[in-house]
Structures are given as structure tokens and as C-alpha cells.
Structure 1
């Protein structure tokens, strides 16, 4: 089982090619590193999405509502990305939850993290990835996941929040 919490961006496994291109380009510009194969990176990211459709997989994603409004790309690209999120709501292997601005939180999201099969937590920072396998760290992130999951909405309610973000783009 893979569980992810993202608070400022869309989870990588759910990205459209154009949104991924903007994420990767912004990252290389910010970190002032050479663009080493942008299109290869985008293709690799999209190939990983095949896992969304593998029977027996369980992917649970939580997105803070603010990430739906963060314009880190052109409005048209964001609109397509939001449409993509709506399209995964019905996939059997994916559970997509949105943590609304109005949700009562037992704990603020703080930062994004990924939990892999209750054995590994990965947290990305500006400069590095932290991999945590210690039982105490795992337990802490499991609890954070549970608490944040309690505040999330799913299905039709998640669809409405995504729709509200899309409407805010003011596209004709």
C-alpha cells in the first residue's frame, strides 16, 4: 500500500505530462542545475502511473485543498491537471481524498510525505529526500496519516472541491 500526503502540489503519480513538465522545469531553474532530459523525466513519471491500474495495488492520496489552487503552471495546464484528478476518483486501486480548507484538523499537514507499505517514509525538502525506516518515525507518520485522513473528503465531495478550484481558474 502506498499512501501520500501533498500540501502544496499534486502527487507525482497523478500528474499530467504538461503539469509534470512545469514541475520539473521549475525545479531545475530553482536549483540552478542543468536540464538533463526533461522529456525523459516526464515519460518516466507517466510510466509510473501504470501502477494506478494494477489489480491488487492500493494507492491512497490526500491533497490539501490549497494545492488545487496553487498556480505553479499556466491556467490551462492546471485545468487539465484538475480534470485528471477528477478522472482518478473512480479508479478501484486509487483512493483520492481532499483535505478542505474548512476541515477540523487534529494536526496541520505541515509538509508532504509518502508512506510505502508501512516500511518506509519519504519526505522531500528543497535540497534532499529523507528516507525514514525507524519504527518510531513510521509510527509518527502513520498517526499523521490517520489524523489527516479523518479530515479528508472523498468521492462526490472531493469532486466538488476540485470543481471549485477549476471554476476559480476563470477559463471560458
Structure 2
């Protein structure tokens, strides 16, 4: 967990402790508050010490039980302030994979220019249903999350309607490794490569491929999306980062522009995809 995230969680915990201490009828002990809330005493301690992230329902109950219902909006704003930046997979996937997909659908629908870099797998907006199904299945196993695979696939496929609205421009750069990675059965990858081949030339998508032999000014690094010039979304194995800091966004824009310089487009990109198709079909 990042230092900034943990510090924000601890700061929220200190504010919760202040509210417990300042109950209008007098100081409440942790045990007394837990009894009022119907919680275990360890939960109160974990929230106050930043070892557990509160939910909005937790915060509303806390504000009411400590006699400060008017502080709920403040507490909720504090929570939104740091959770909007770091969203753990454990919390996001507690009810399955569909909800995070819907969040991405909304974020992309709100943008006009969307730039992406990826060197590990095909980005969701260009995935075939079978490829998406393979990805969701593997990540469901990794995170031991509910396997709402078909609901997640349908949500991701709905996002692709944005490609054809004419209201957005996608500038996507993929490393050639994406074309070769067997994160799905070979037949599924073959169909996915066909999909990428046919996307080239679509007026709303500029798809570039960085070939293996290309000279790079930067290491590839993790994949990310830039929504207009206001938000970056990237991910780690344990969380997604939704970044709105202007200086950090500017850094990602420079990274994207630098990697994009190594990409090939049009017929040259077709040739790279063709090479991956031949390699996949060769014995």
C-alpha cells in the first residue's frame, strides 16, 4: 500500500478518534462505541489506527453514534479523496468484476481523447469476448474474487460501443509482446490478432505497435490510460491508481509520447501483426 494512501487512512482514523472523544455526553471508550454500533472492539481500533479502510456506511454510523451526524459529509469527502486515487482490487472485486468494468465505461465515456500504452495484454476496448473471458478468468483466480465472468465480459463489450460513436479519439500503442503473449488459448489469440488487424484504419482509432526491434528511449514499464489531460489510470497487482495530479499526468503524457515515437502504424503495423499470426500458426 502506498505511503500517501496509508497516511491519508491514518489521518481519517485520527479524525474518527477525535469524534469519539468529543461525544456531547462525554468521552466514549472504544468498547462503548463498539457496543453502540454492534461492532467488535477490534474494528473500532483498526479504523482509528488506519489498519482498516472505512466504508461510507461505517462513517455514517460512526458520525451518528458519536453525536456528530453533521460530520458525515466531511468524513465521506476524506474517504473519497484518497480512495479515488488508490482502489485496491480486494475492495473493488468484493462483488465481482462487473462493477469495475462499469466504472471504466463511465470514465471513458466522459473523455474525448483517450491515449493508452500497454505491453502485457490487449487493452479492453479492443478485446474480443473470448480474449476478455480468458483475462477475467485468470484474474478471478488470482484475486480469488467472485466469478461473474460473463457479466464482466458483457460490461467490457458495451464499452466498445464508444469506438463507433464518433465522439472520441483513441490513440493506442501496444508493445509487440502483446501480440505474442499466450494469456489465452492459441485459437483465441488468433481471433484477437484478426481483431487488431481490422481495427487499423478505423477513423476513431490510431493503433500503433512497438516492434521488438525498435529502439526505445524508455523502458516499457506498466500500462496506463490517459483520459484527456485530466486523469491517468494505471494498475498494479494489488490496486488501480486513478491519478488527477497535474504534474503526474504530465509525466505520463511524456512517457506516452516517448513510447509512441517507437511505434509503427498502418501497413507497417499490419506487417507486425501478420508476423505474430504466422508465428502462432507455425508448428
TM-score class normalised by the smaller sequence: over 0.9
The Cα of 1:171 is off from its aligned counterpart by 6.1
Tell me the CA shift for residue 65 of structure 1: 0.5
Q: Which residue of 2 aligns with 1:167?
A: 278
2:192 to 69, 81, 90: 81
**How many angstroms apart in 2 are the aligned matches of 1:135 and 1:14?**
28
How far, CA to CA, are the matches of 2:282 and 2:165 in structure 1? 34
Q: How big is the alpha-carbon RMSD for the aligned residues of Structure 1 and Structure 2? A: 1.1
Answering whether residue 123 of structure 2 is matched by residue 18 of structure 1, we say no
How much has 1:32 moved relative to structure 2? Answer: 1.5
1:6 aligned to 2:118? yes
Q: 1:106 deviation in Å?
A: 1.0
Moved over 2 A (4+): none
Separation in 2 of the partners of 1:2 and 1:135? Answer: 16
Query: Residue 117 in 1 paired to residue 117 in 2?
Result: no
Aligned equivalent of 1:69, options 177, 180, 184: 180
Measured in 2, the distance between the counterparts of 1:117 and 1:97 equals 19
Q: How do 1:76-155 and structure 2 match up within 5 A?
A: 76-155=187-266
Measure the CA separation in 2 of the matches of 1:53 and 1:31.
Answer: 33
Q: Name structure 2 gaps, 5 residues minimum.
A: 1-112
For 2:177 and 2:166, the matched residues in 1 are separated by 31
Write 1 or 2 for the structure with the bigger share of strand: 1
**1:25-75: CA deviation from partner (whole Å, max 9, x where unpaired):** 00001112221x211110110110011111131001100111110001110
CA deviation map 1:95-150 (0-9, x unaligned): 00001111111111111010001100011111110011111101100000110111
Mark the structure with the bigger radius of gyration.
2
2:152 aligns to what SS in structure 1? helix
Q: Aligned residue pairs: how many?
A: 171
TM-score, normalised via structure 1 length: 0.96
Secondary structure at the aligned position of 2:280 is classed as: coil
Unmatched segments (≥5 aa) in structure 1? none
TM-score (norm 2): 0.59
Structure with more contact order per residue of length (Cα contacts < 8 Å, sep ≥ 6): 1
